[in-house]
Structure 1
Amino acid sequence: MQDSKNLVIAIVLCLLILVGWSALSERMGWISKPDPAVVAQQQEQARKEAEAEKAKQLASATTPDGKPLPAFTPAPGREVTVRTPLYTAVFHTGGGIVRSFTLNDYRSGVAADSPDINMVDAVTAKFSPLGLVVNKQPSWSNGVWSYEGADSYDVAEGKSVTLTFVGEVDKVRVARELTFSADTYLVKERVRLATPEEASRSVRLEFTVAADSRFAAGGNYDAMRIAWDNDGSLAEESSVEKLAAVVTQRGRIYWAGPTSTYFLMAIMPAVSDNVGLRAWTQEGVFRASLEPQEIVVEPGREAVCDVSYWIGPKERARLLAVNEELAKSVDLGMFSLIGKGLLWLLAKFHGFVGNWGVAIILLTVLIKAVFWPLTAKSYASMEQMRRLKPQMDEIRERCKNDKQAMNKEVMALYKTYGVNPASGCIPLLIQLPVFFGLYQALLTSIELRHASFITYLPGTDMLWLADLSSKDPYYITPVIMGVTMFIQQRFNPPASDPTQQKIMMALPFVFTVLFLSFPSGLVIYWLVNNILSILQQWMMSRKRRLDK
């Protein structure tokens, strides 16, 4: 028992000596407290060593083929210029956003000194087109970047060049590799991702584009909108009210982006399944983004995501060279197959004569020649109806109070003379798909943009049909077209019903007003078609008179 007490006393005395000695030493200055500044310096050194270790681990991350990630040292942003035969593009190294994208072959106006079209002007550049969003964070403002390369590149025919922007966003190493080719408006991008974390990391990427509404002339024939291809079907939204509230969709999105009738800025993910789309407007700029499926980045390994961008004119041949889905951005309507064939013929005629207006006239003559027998049959049927009109009027007057009897006698009259009242309409119905196909083809063909027919009014220096994609500035062709419609009506038998007669008489005026704002290339087609129809009707009338 005494031994236990002695042990307890010994332990207490030892503790008192240890505690008391430390307190006495500090009080007497025999030992000093750690300097806070030294402690902070040691902690900062430890943090830097930890970051260096993480950077070393990140640098050792490799692609599946064993290539290491590019080196990364944050640097101030600067501009890099890429020149190709088709365009001149300016990018900012702080995230790889595009500052300017000027098309070399397309001017903003008809005049020779008009500036070239810039797909990313000063207004659009504020919204960082081609900006990459990483885990909901804009990489151009919430990341640090570096770039090792020249300040400008000239890409010769048949060649390509790749710019690599390396950065870190949300503790994820990002390398953006943008490839530009001399013979296309397609810009390819490969995004390479790696993480220094010891565990796997989920990363969501969002690719963005933007375009100013000024790239569309406005109105019904060239409206700015957001378009996308969802599982092979073209969809569009031009309502500013709906886009202001943000339009969203998820599905098999092949491409999406702002578009006008003639120009397109679109994103195309390499993997189109389960892609999220957002479309909206902001300060008159139409914006769109695509978010592919979530990417899992394994430690010490690299993940890759591929996309492409189309920034330029909607030239069908170049779009088709990319893929059929992108070519659907040129909307040829429900009769697209006919429209494609007519566009091919139009281009062939242009190759022979070198003038798009003359090519439209030649194409109209060819279409009229093909349908000449059908229209002749239609006119012959209308002539038969004209000859029967006195008898039909007599029947209607006699049976005006007995509609059933009137219809019975009229049908008997048709049967007696072998007249089919629908025979005049059927040939015209057969031609409608061709008319609508050509209408849509001429309306959407970028070849007609700024293509001239008769550049100046004869005897003046005033621009006239200098742009077949815009309306006639002096409304000369629409008025003449309305006159030809009125003349054409004089060859047709008048409708038996007074109300129908009034409607038919008003049609030339209605069509004239409608065609005032039509692209002049379309007006030329309808005008020439009317003139040829009048000629055919006159020839048939003359032949009947000679036969008598």
Structure 2
Amino acid sequence: MDMYRAFLAIVLSFIILIGYQFFFVKPALQQQGGQQQTQQAEQNKTGTGASAVEKTAPAAPAAVPGQEPAVAARAQKVEANPNARDIVIDTPLYTAVISEQGGGFKSFELKKYKRDNSQNSPLMQLVKTRSPLDLPVLFTLDNGAAENLPLYRADRDHITLSQEDQVTTLTMTARLPGGVEVTRTLVFDPSTYLIDTSYTVKNGDTPFQAAPAMVLTNKPFTEGTAASRYMFSGPVALVNDELHEIKGKKLSQGVQTLQGNVTWAAYEDNYFICALIPQEPTTRMVTMAASGDKVHTIVAEGVTQLAPGAVQEFKYKMYFGPKKLSILKETGYELSRAINFGWFDIIAKPMLWLLNFFYDYVGNYGVAIILLTVLIKGIFWPITSKGMKSMKNMQKLQPKVAKLKEKYKDDPQRMNQEMMALYKTYKVNPLGGCLPMFLQIPFFFALYKVLLMSIELRHAPFMLWITDLSAPDRLWIGIDIPVLHGIPVLTLLMGASMYLQQKMTPTTADPTQAKIMQWLPVLFTFMFINFASGLVLYWFVNNLLSILQQQLINRQTSKA
């Protein structure tokens, strides 16, 4: 088997992967922003109790196939209440602003993360919506329709916590029509992004049927980053121990519904996540729908019957913060499963751990990538050396192979028999050069996912002009270069190293195939030109190590 045929297959697989992400995943994500919410649907059994809490809702038109009533019946506009105050929560990790109108978050800024890598960049903002109806998170008693937003009254208008402070509680109370009282309690811990929240519903003097639900409305946190072009962004939920990522194409087909044991439901992008975590184990329904570039996620509790004077409590936790594996694991509630490396998850997560292990010692993620590359190369060094030696020996046999092909060109079966006898005589394995390459494929793609998805590399500097390992490599030269806006120095060095490696590698390819292979460095250079510089750095260092290894093999075989 020709090593270069195998290598070409690997390259084509890589191109297919990237092409799929660029031409299919990206347009699918963009479709989220182009979908308008369709017609209203009539309320079903889970929403019939809204009239006991608020004014009787007008009759809804016939249901649209595929839509859930709670999403379709949401009010389109709610005027801001001038009597509602903004409650500011300031902790070492974030600054949040809660509106008394509905109790949603008007702002949630992460203090340890900036929006971009510029010196004067504002802090990372996770709330992009403005209307009181669209603020995350809202608690409703009408299955998420939120026709009327209650006016809460908080027991204070400002909470400031330092790292040394203990957990602090904020209490908000709202009175609804019919004598129903809702008390919201939020518990803030300065050491975590996790927020405890509970809603105590106390009924008035008449029987009451409610359909409690939590509503999470989000817009994309960031746009136009290198990783956002290829990675998932949108609603996601862990239901019945299965991770559901609702991608743009599926979301555009109408409201998506999940039912069962809801561990959490969230909106995420490559680096950040806003998650709702129900605390009581019971069957729930999650509905997800797009309205413009907004995504509505509703976690419905089902119908609840309250007798006069009855009290019922609904408990949740909320996580608004980074998708950093170590933080999510420490937080618990299986939030770490939001970081999904796909098929290569079992390999990728140990690689991420190693990347952070090296960073803890060297304090630079660029250097950590180099050390991780050296480690992976070292692990595969023996088997790769055997493959290279096998290819070198195969190259020496080429004249004999060419004679056999010429001699038995009219008898393919005899030609194959003679060639296998030749390989056996000289103890050469024709598959020896291919096997090491195939064994390394899962590790390459796992590291590719780690370097593309890990928040650790976001705005992480390496050296000189590379100030963000999650962004494409560009050297600013004082003038704006069209399209590129700078010179991709590291990418060009990577292409040059690949060309040198190709020249040093033994080839058994025919002249036509060899000419095709000469274009691979050019193809890879163009393909990597908009990749994160951390990934380019890995590939460049790997090429340099392969050149070193090939040089050593060439010396050994020349002496033999």
TM-score range, shorter chain: 0.7 to 0.9
In 2, distance between residues paired with 1:346 and 1:356?
8
Cα distance, 1:379 vs structure 2 = 0.7
Greater RCO between the two (CA within 8 Å, min separation 6)? 2
Sort the Cα spacing of 1:182 and 1:446 in 2 relative to 1 into closer, same or farther, 3 A: same
1:95 pairs, out of 102, 115, 137, with 102
**Greater alpha carbon shift after TM alignment, 162-171 vs 387-396:** 162-171
Residue 505 of structure 1 corresponds to: 518
2:166 pairs, out of 159, 171, 174, with 159
Cα distance, 1:198 vs structure 2 = 4.5
Sort the Cα spacing of 1:166 and 1:390 in 2 relative to 1 into closer, same or farther, 3 A: same
In 2, distance between residues paired with 1:406 and 1:147?
89
2:536 pairs, out of 510, 517, 523, with 523
Residue 174 of structure 1 corresponds to: 182
Residue 260 of structure 2 corresponds to: 251
Sort the Cα spacing of 1:75 and 1:134 in 2 relative to 1 into closer, same or farther, 3 A: farther
Residue 348 of structure 1 corresponds to: 357
Sort the Cα spacing of 1:324 and 1:128 in 2 relative to 1 into closer, same or farther, 3 A: closer
2:141 pairs, out of 134, 149, 155, with 134
1:207 equivalenced with 2:214 (yes/no): yes
Partner letter of residue 472 of structure 1? D
Cα distance, 1:297 vs structure 2 = 2.7
In 2, distance between residues paired with 1:125 and 1:387?
75
Partner letter of residue 284 of structure 1? D
Sort the Cα spacing of 1:197 and 1:425 in 2 relative to 1 into closer, same or farther, 3 A: farther
> How many residues matched?
464
1:471 equivalenced with 2:484 (yes/no): no
In 2, distance between residues paired with 1:484 and 1:124?
53
Cα distance, 1:496 vs structure 2 = 3.5
Sort the Cα spacing of 1:191 and 1:243 in 2 relative to 1 into closer, same or farther, 3 A: farther
> After superposition, what is the alpha-carbon deviation per residue over 1:439-490, rounded to whole angstroms, capped at 9, x for unaligned?
2222221111000112x4xxxxxxx311101111332222221222222222
Larger radius of gyration: 1
Partner letter of residue 358 of structure 1? V
SS in 2 for 1:94: coil
- Please say if residues 394 and 508 of structure 2, whose CA atoms lie closer than 8 Å, have aligned partners that are also in contact: no
Cα distance, 1:222 vs structure 2 = 4.2
**Greater alpha carbon shift after TM alignment, 530-539 vs 216-225:** 216-225
Cα distance, 1:411 vs structure 2 = 1.4
Residue 202 of structure 2 corresponds to: 194
- Please say if residues 95 and 167 of structure 1, whose CA atoms lie closer than 8 Å, have aligned partners that are also in contact: no
1:408 pairs, out of 387, 402, 417, with 417
1:535 equivalenced with 2:548 (yes/no): yes
Q: How does 1:388-399 map to 2 (within 5 A)?
A: 388-399=397-408
> After superposition, what is the alpha-carbon deviation per residue over 1:324-356, rounded to whole angstroms, capped at 9, x for unaligned?
621011122223232222222221221222111
> After superposition, what is the alpha-carbon deviation per residue over 1:67-116, rounded to whole angstroms, capped at 9, x for unaligned?
xxxxxxx9932111000000000001122111111111111111221110
Sort the Cα spacing of 1:143 and 1:197 in 2 relative to 1 into closer, same or farther, 3 A: farther
> After superposition, what is the alpha-carbon deviation per residue over 1:157-208, rounded to whole angstroms, capped at 9, x for unaligned?
2522222222244644222212221111112211111212444x33222212
**TM-score (norm: length of structure 1):** 0.79
In 2, distance between residues paired with 1:324 and 1:337?
20
Cα distance, 1:229 vs structure 2 = 1.7
Partner letter of residue 300 of structure 2? E
Partner letter of residue 528 of structure 1? V
Query: Which ranges of structure 1 fall in alignment gaps of 5 or more residues?
Result: 1-73, 457-463
In 1, distance between residues paired with 2:284 and 2:492?
50
1:491 equivalenced with 2:500 (yes/no): no
1:482 equivalenced with 2:464 (yes/no): no
- Please say if residues 135 and 205 of structure 1, whose CA atoms lie closer than 8 Å, have aligned partners that are also in contact: yes
SS in 2 for 1:120: coil
- The percent of aligned pairs where both chains have the same amino acid is 35
Cα distance, 1:124 vs structure 2 = 7.5
2:247 pairs, out of 238, 252, 259, with 238
Q: How does 1:322-471 map to 2 (within 5 A)?
A: 322-323=331-332, 325-454=334-463, 456=464, 464-471=465-472
- Please say if residues 104 and 116 of structure 1, whose CA atoms lie closer than 8 Å, have aligned partners that are also in contact: yes
Cα distance, 1:394 vs structure 2 = 1.7
**Greater alpha carbon shift after TM alignment, 304-313 vs 493-502:** 493-502
- Please say if residues 216 and 222 of structure 1, whose CA atoms lie closer than 8 Å, have aligned partners that are also in contact: no
Partner letter of residue 171 of structure 2? T
Query: Which ranges of structure 2 fall in alignment gaps of 5 or more residues?
Result: 1-80, 475-486
SS in 1 for 2:197: strand
1:109 equivalenced with 2:116 (yes/no): yes
Cα distance, 1:128 vs structure 2 = 1.8
Residue 153 of structure 2 corresponds to: 147
SS in 1 for 2:326: helix
Q: RMSD over aligned Cα, in angstroms?
A: 2.4
**TM-score (norm: length of structure 2):** 0.77
